[in-house]
Amino acid sequence: MAHVLIAEARFYAHLNDMLLAGARAALDRAGHSHETVTVPGALELPGVIALAAESGRFDAFVALGVVIRGETYHFEIVAGESARGLMALTMDGLAVGNGILTVENEAQAIVRADASQGDKGGDAAEAALALLALRGRFS
């Protein structure tokens, strides 16, 4: 059994609740324990995962958040830099699933976050577990 950290950005709480439900259900189905840490926005997700990884308490990590395009270049910063940060952690050998939605509007987010539709939270949890299994195979 693995112990998994779900790191979730509360920027859009109602949308993130859907991602969280999907991720938790996927981990429960797979028989893994998990805990959740909350940060304000997607830009904080790589940082909190890096901090948690130093504790050595977690086998894998799931990052959940929603970034919705606004009027300015800020969308590109938040969407791109959060993904870049997670990818850097992955390349350092952490098993990280990226469940940060980067969408044009709330309707797109709902379809993807809802566990009974796109279930991107569940997908991110399964991706983290897949990387964890591969790490075991190659170590």
Ligand X SMILES: Nc1c(NC[C@H](O)[C@H](O)[C@H](O)CO)[nH]c(=O)[nH]c1=O
Query: Which of 6, 18, 78, 95 is the binder for ligand LTPLIIQW (CB under 6 A)?
Result: 78
Residues 115 to 134: which contact ligand LTPLIIQW by CB under 6 A?
A: none
Establish if 54 lies at the interface with ligand LTPLIIQW (CB under 6 A).
Answer: no
C-alpha to C-alpha distance for 68 and 64, rounded to whole angstroms: 14
Q: Is 18 in the site for ligand X (CB under 6 A)?
A: no
Q: Tell me the window of 22-30, 39-47, 56-64, 86-94 that interacts with ligand X (CB under 6 A).
A: 39-47
Rg from Cα positions in the chain: 14
Q: If we measure between CA atoms, which residue out of 63, 78, 60, 49 comes closest to residue 20?
A: 63
Question: Is 32 known to be catalytic?
Answer: no
Rounded to whole angstroms, the Cα distance separating 18 from 70 reads: 21
The token duo for 95 is 């098993």
Point out which residues bind ligand X (CB under 6 A): 9, 11, 40-44, 65-68, 74, 78
